[in-house]
């Protein structure tokens, strides 16, 4: 989930830099006027320090802003590259996934599952919980549990992990 910044937060660094720029200009103008009016040197030094600190704050904020924009640009490119890779992966694997879905459906038919039970079986394979399945199918959790038990009975499989393993175990290479 991406959090959208408010319009004010989006320009926060620019606004703060603008305030420090105003402080710098006012402090520098005051030093200029005070110098010609013969104000004590310690007073001028304090105002020069305030002006310099304000200028440094502006430079720091602008530098940070430029670094953030550069980083954001880099992250956008990485995101674009990942989206492209995902799309490429999806296109490459599409025929295999379709074939796998057909084979799973055939196996569910061989077991004699009803259409409702097949729907539940596919949701189980997607990793959904009973509660999530009931939400998707707009039924009660009790109904889902009854159908899951019917699936286990017809398949002679005793657990969700065993059911998943039946279809997925051979998809992964053995770990050395």
7 has pLDDT over 70: no
Question: How many angstroms separate the CA atoms of 144 and 173, rounded?
Answer: 32
Predicted confidence band of residue 3 (pLDDT cuts 50, 70, 90): low
157 has pLDDT over 70: yes
Residue 105 has a pLDDT of 92
- Structural domain spans, the chain: 10-90, 111-176
Tens of pLDDT, residue by residue over 23-58, are 999 998 999 898 888 889 998 999 999 999 999 999
CATH number of 111-176: 1.10.10.10
Decide if 163 contacts 126 (C-beta within 8 A): no
Residue 176 has a pLDDT of 66
Tens of pLDDT, residue by residue over 47-94, are 999 999 999 999 999 998 899 889 999 999 999 999 999 999 888 888
The alpha helices in the chain, defined as continuous H runs, are 7-10, 12-37, 41-110, 115-125, 130-137, 141-155, 160-168
Decide if 82 contacts 65 (C-beta within 8 A): no
Question: How many angstroms separate the CA atoms of 90 and 94, rounded?
Answer: 6
Question: How many angstroms separate the CA atoms of 60 and 57, rounded?
Answer: 5
Question: How many angstroms separate the CA atoms of 46 and 166, rounded?
Answer: 78
Residue 38 has a pLDDT of 86
Q: Give the sign of the dihedral formed by CA 120, CA 125, CA 126, CA 130.
A: positive
Mean pLDDT of 151-171: 90
What does the chain come to in residues? 176
Where on the phi/psi map is residue 4: left (φ > 0), alpha (ψ -120 to 50), or beta?
beta
Tokens encoding 145: 């549990």
Helices 115-125 and 130-137: crossing angle, nearest 10°? 130
């Amino acid at each position: 989930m991406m959090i959208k910044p408010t319009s004010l937060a989006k320009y926060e660094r620019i606004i703060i830099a603008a305030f420090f720029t105003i402080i710098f200009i006012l402090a520098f103008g005051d030093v200029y006027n005070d110098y010609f009016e013969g104000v004590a040197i310690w007073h001028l030094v304090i105002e020069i320090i305030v002006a310099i600190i304000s200028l440094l704050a502006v430079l720091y904020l602008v530098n940070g802003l430029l670094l953030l924009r550069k980083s954001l640009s880099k992250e956008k490119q990485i995101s674009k590259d990942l989206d492209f890779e995902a799309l490429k992966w999806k296109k490459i694997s599409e025929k295999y996934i379709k074939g796998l879905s057909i084979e799973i459906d055939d196996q569910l038919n061989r077991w004699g599952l009803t259409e409702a039970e097949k729907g539940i079986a596919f949701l189980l394979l997607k990793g959904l919980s009973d509660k999530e399945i009931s939400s998707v199918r707009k039924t009660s959790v009790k109904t889902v549990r009854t159908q899951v038990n019917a699936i286990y009975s017809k398949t002679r499989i005793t657990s969700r992990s065993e059911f998943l393993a039946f279809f997925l175990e051979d998809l992964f290479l053995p770990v050395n």
